[in-house]
Amino acid sequence: MKLLVKAPAKINLALDVLYKRPDGYHEVEMIMTTIDLADRVELTLLNQNEIRILSHNRYVPDDQRNLAYQAAQLLKERFNVKKGVMISIEKTIPVAAGLAGGSSDAAATLRGLNKLWDLGLTLDELAELGSEIGSDVSFCVYGGTALAKGRGEIITELPAPPTCWVILAKPFIGVSTSEVYKRLDVNQVHHPNIAEMVDAIRQTNYQKVCDYVGNVLEDVTLKLHPEVAQIKEQMKRFGADAVLMSGSGPTVFGLVQHDSRMHRIYNGLRGFCDQVFAVRMLGERHLLD
Ligand SMILES: C[C@@](CO)(OP(=O)(O)O)[C@H](O)COP(=O)(O)OP(=O)(O)OC[C@H]1O[C@@H](n2ccc(N)nc2=O)[C@H](O)[C@@H]1O
Ligand SMILES: Nc1ncnc2c1ncn2[C@@H]1O[C@H](COP(=O)(O)OP(=O)(O)O)[C@@H](O)[C@H]1O
């Protein structure tokens, strides 16, 4: 028995960090939305009681370090599952890029195994389990558009943002999320206005969404990797309405509504970056599988 599950990437339209918590994590407020750029996770039921990972990407671990493996392990332990699974991951989402590829693979594995192993868990229960794997996994279980609080695992659903193109440009580097959080000084940042971004989305006001994009982690990554600032500049020059780094980076995204502008930016950045994609936001939450 086989199941194919889609694992879409996310971008952070806004990311604020309020303070560092006693447990070492940071209290955040983020506006997250899934985009039409996805890994394919194929789950095959195994009679042997084991978890196997198959991945042809050299940056993706094929053992317990893989977040999809951890998702399967967690379900197995928590619900005393005696069946096994082979998890085959076809990566499209760039790795260590601020797009939550690993988290989304883990979330897809949770959703898929819930069916394959017949566990009967609700989406909320899967999201809660996901938070034990990583801070972004809960959001990825639901997908769509949301306000995420806590360390990222407290999710409030939002409607679809206004329709536009999202052009993603990933430089030739990967970024360590923990390194970026470690270097952040919360007293030295300009906080984005999360409430206004929520309003912009609720009002489907494209111009307002563009006005309120902001990410407090951007300055940290920009200092470590000046090429991210260069990509931001290029995107602005080519005519993007808003330009921001996603998550801890280094991927930069630009928003535009017109096809011609999208083509200009896409073509202008290709060759200058490792990878460039032009995608749509997936919009509101709907059943992913
Ligand atoms: C920055 C964000 C924004 O969406 O995404 P990415 O850039 O990774 O995609 C997330 O907050 C990343 O979430 P995720 O990548 O799941 O983080 P985790 O695995 O839980 O933690 C990785 C590291 O980041 C730090 N971390 C993470 C989340 C948080 N709210 N505070 C933190 O300080 C932790 O200390 C940990 O060392
Ligand atoms: N399924 C997976 N896909 C990608 N990376 C993974 C996966 N499982 C574990 N990892 C590890 O997690 C790290 C961060 O991965 P990723 O989720 O792509 O980035 P980000 O946290 O920036 O969104 C990678 O360097 C990789 O070693």
- List, for residues 187-237, the tens digit of each pLDDT value: 999 999 999 999 999 999 999 999 999 999 999 999 999 999 999 999 999
> Which listed CATH number (3.20.20.60, 1.10.1740.10, 3.30.230.10, 3.40.190.10) goes with 2-158?
3.30.230.10
In which region does residue 34 sit, left (phi positive, over 0), alpha (psi from -120 to 50) or beta (all else)? beta
User: Hey, whose CA ends up nearest to atom 32 of ligand 1?
Assistant: 25
The Cα 12–Cα 245 span in angstroms is: 8
The answer to whether the CB of 103 falls within 8 A of the CB of 67 is: yes
Residue-level pLDDT at 174: 87
Mutate to test the pocket of ligand 2, among 43, 60, 69, 99 (most ligand atoms within 8 A of CB): 60
Spell out the domain ranges in the chain: 2-158, 165-280
Cis peptide before 250 (omega within 30 of 0): yes
Residue keyed to tokens 């949770």: 110
Residues with a CB atom less than 6 Å from ligand 2: 60-61, 65-68, 89, 95-103, 105, 177, 247-248
Handedness of CA 228, 233, 239, 241 (dihedral sign): positive
- Give yes or no: 115 in active site: no
249 assigned binding-site residue? no
Distance, first Cα to last Cα, the chain: 16
Residue 72's pLDDT band (cuts 50, 70, 90): very high
Residues with a CB atom less than 6 Å from ligand 1: 12, 15, 24-26, 28, 30, 98, 100, 103, 134-136, 151-152, 177-178, 181, 247-248
104 assigned binding-site residue? yes
Residue-level pLDDT at 122: 97
CATH of the domain spanning 165-280: 3.30.70.890
H-type alpha helices, the chain: 67-78, 101-116, 123-130, 137-142, 177-183, 194-202, 206-211, 218-224, 226-237, 259-269
What is the chain's mean pLDDT, rounded? 97
Residue type, 11: I
| 229-277 residue pLDDT tens | 999 999 999 999 999 999 999 999 999 999 999 999 999 999 889 999 9
| 161-183 residue pLDDT tens | 999 999 999 999 989 999 999 99
pLDDT of 68 above 90: yes
Instruction: Indicate which atom in ligand 2 lies nearest the CA of residue 248.
Output: 22
Residue 288's pLDDT band (cuts 50, 70, 90): low
The DSSP string of 147-187 is EEETTTTEEEEE-PPPP-EEEEEE-S----HHHHHHH--GG
Residues 6+ away with beta carbon under 8 Å from 36: 8, 279, 280, 281, 282
The answer to whether the CB of 258 falls within 8 A of the CB of 224 is: no
Residue-level pLDDT at 71: 98
The answer to whether the CB of 216 falls within 8 A of the CB of 191 is: yes
Query: Residue-wise over 17-29: b if at least 16 C-beta within 10 A, else e?
Result: beeeeeeeebebb
Mutate to test the pocket of ligand 1, among 20, 129, 140, 177 (most ligand atoms within 8 A of CB): 177
The Cα 168–Cα 254 span in angstroms is: 7
Residue keyed to tokens 């536009």: 164
100 assigned binding-site residue? yes
The answer to whether the CB of 85 falls within 8 A of the CB of 68 is: no
Residue-level pLDDT at 286: 82
pLDDT of 289 above 80: no
